[in-house]
Amino acid sequence: ELSVYDAIESAKIVKDCGVDVLLLSNPYGGNTRLSGVIDFFKKVDDAVDMPMIIYNFPGRTGYNVNPDIVGALLDAVPNICGIKECAERYEQTMELIGRFGDRMAVLSGNEFLGPWELLCGADGAVVATGNVMIKEIVKLYNIAKTGDIAKTSEYGLSLFPLMRTLFKSPNPGPSKYGMILRGFDAGKPTTPCVECEEPVKAEVAAEMKKLGII
C-alpha cells in the first residue's frame, strides 16, 4: 500500500525534473479524518516545498474533500494554490468558488460539467478528453470564459458525442487510443488499467473523424 513517504519520494523526483506544481490526491485506501488529511498534505509540503493542487476525486479515493476540509487545508498548508474538483457535484464547485475563489484556483475536473462551471467562475479545467481534442477543449474554454451561454451550449454539445465515447471504456484506455490516432506515442495503459475494446476503438475513431480531428 502506498504511503505518504511514497508521495514525498515521487514529489521530490518530479520537482528535480522541473515540474512547477504538484497535483496531489488526498489519502486513499484506508479510513481517515480531517486531521489525517491535513497531516498528509503538511508532510508533503514540509518535505518538498512547492505549489500544490488538491486532486479531489471521491469516486476513486472514497473520501470527499468538501469545502470545509478545503478551508482547513488552505489555512494549514501555505503552498496549496488550487483544487481539481472531480466530485461531480456542481453545487460543491460553486461553493468552492464563492468561499475560496480569491485564495486559490478552482479547476473543473469533469468535461461534462466544466463548461457550466467555467461560466460560473471556475478558473479552468483539467480534463482527460483534452488529451485527444486539444484545440477543441481550448476553444470551448475560450467561449465559456466570454460568458456567452448560447455559444457555450452549442459548441459544448457538438463535442459531447466524442466526450461520451471516450468514457465508454475505463479511462485512460479510450483517450490513449485517441492520442495514438493523432500520432502520439501514448503506449498502452499500465495494469490494472486496460486497453479499450475494439468496438469502442471504432467509435472513438468515427467521432474523431466527424469533428475533423483525424
Mind listing the pLDDT tens digit for each residue in 65-85?
999 999 999 999 999 999 999
Per annotation, catalytic residue among 5, 15, 84, 201: 84
DSSP for 103-126, please give it: TSEEEE--TTTHHHHHHTT--EE-
The per-residue pLDDT of the chain, averaged, comes to 94
What is the C-alpha to C-alpha distance for residues 131 and 111, in angstroms, rounded to an integer? 12
Q: In what order do the strands lie in the sheet with 105-108?
A: 22-25, 52-56, 80-85, 105-108, 124-125
Is position 84 annotated as part of the catalytic site? yes
Confidence of residue 114 (pLDDT cuts 50, 70, 90): very high
Backbone angles phi, psi at 85, to 5 degrees: -95, 110
pLDDT in tens, 6-30: 999 999 999 999 999 999 998 776 6
Residue 147 has pLDDT above 60, yes or no: yes
Please say if 177 is a catalytic residue.
no
Q: Which of 55, 63, 141, 177 is labelled catalytic? A: 55
